[in-house]
Structure 1
Amino acid sequence: MSAQTDRYTIAVTRYFEAWNAPDAPARAKAVTDAWTPDGTYTDPLADAGGHEAITAVISAVREQFPGFAFRLTGSVDGHHDTARFSWELVSEAGGTAGDSTPVAGSDVITLDGEGRIRTVLGFLDRVPAAA
């Protein structure tokens, strides 16, 4: 694995740490560790800038899907300061495929020189009807 590939993988690992943090203090710290202070998160359902707003978006999703966690599907691909990856939200209790993975998508992130996230552009491939 090259240093550049490590950079993308580390950034995506931090990204998932933020999304999967078990409580508000851990989530706020994980967002601060992963994103630049002026970082953004945008998907079809949310548009947030700065640590507090990004933390609020993640917290709202975690409240909507208790007992679920985000996980990487496939590998992280990147070049220059940009990486892309796919993910799914999975039930930590298991279940059938339809019930256990209600949300899935792909994200494109840009990084600063230190490997922190500047922007996330999220694309949702599967969303529950109530979302």
Structure 2
Amino acid sequence: METVDIQAALTAYAAAWNEPDERRRQELIEHVWCEEGVYQDHRNRVVGCQALREYIHAFKRRYPDLRIELTGEVLVAGEGVSFTWRARDPEGLVWLTRQDTATLTRDGKLQSVSGVLND
């Protein structure tokens, strides 16, 4: 993991969640997400780039003005990383915060992201 730019991967991942343009969002996902990557939270599990694109699209339709912001430092433990983020509306109100764990491939793509709601 020492040769992988973890912060760049997480920044691109957050950018995909914030991107309003579907084509650009797809490009970001393909850049940062491995084809068989798994996203899982307390309610959902999606596998692959297409499924993640659809999941984020549904999120953006439901909450078009929320912005995902990475917060805190990224902690690396073995093959995994832990990071925190929040979703904030245009008025600055924080809707939710999360701590996620992730694994990355050797070439720096996200292989898995698992999240736990903090609020």
* Same fold flag (TM > 0.5): yes
Identity of aligned residues (%): 28
What do residues 1-27 of structure 1 show as CA deviations (whole Å, max 9, x unaligned)? Answer: xx8386221111111111111221111
Tell me the equivalent position of 2:36. 38
Tell me the equivalent position of 2:91. 94
Q: What is the CA-CA distance between 1:47 and the residue it aligns to? A: 0.6
Partner SS for 1:63? helix
Q: Is the 8 A contact 2:4 2:107 kept in 1?
A: no
Q: Is the 8 A contact 1:81 1:112 kept in 2?
A: no
Q: Is the 8 A contact 2:100 2:113 kept in 1?
A: yes
Distance 1:5 1:83, change over 3 A: farther
Partner SS for 1:4? coil
Structure 1 outlier segments of 4+, above 2 Å = 3-6
Amino acid in structure 2 at the alignment position of 1:109: A
Total equivalences in the alignment: 119
The correspondence of residues 40-79 of structure 1 with structure 2, limited to 5 A, is: 40-79=38-77
TM-score, normalised by the number of residues in structure 2: 0.91
Q: List runs of 5+ in structure 2 lacking aligned partners.
A: none
CA distance in 2, matches of 1:6, 1:53: 25
Partner SS for 1:115? coil
CA distance in 1, matches of 2:46, 2:78: 24
CA distance in 2, matches of 1:60, 1:81: 30
Q: Give the greater-gyration-radius structure (CA).
A: 1
Q: Is the 8 A contact 1:5 1:78 kept in 2?
A: no
Amino acid in structure 1 at the alignment position of 2:91: G
TM-score, normalised by the number of residues in structure 1: 0.83
Tell me the equivalent position of 2:80. 82
Q: List runs of 5+ in structure 1 lacking aligned partners.
A: 127-131
CA distance in 2, matches of 1:74, 1:113: 24
Tell me the equivalent position of 1:106. 99
Q: RMSD between aligned alpha carbons?
A: 1.7
Partner SS for 2:76? strand
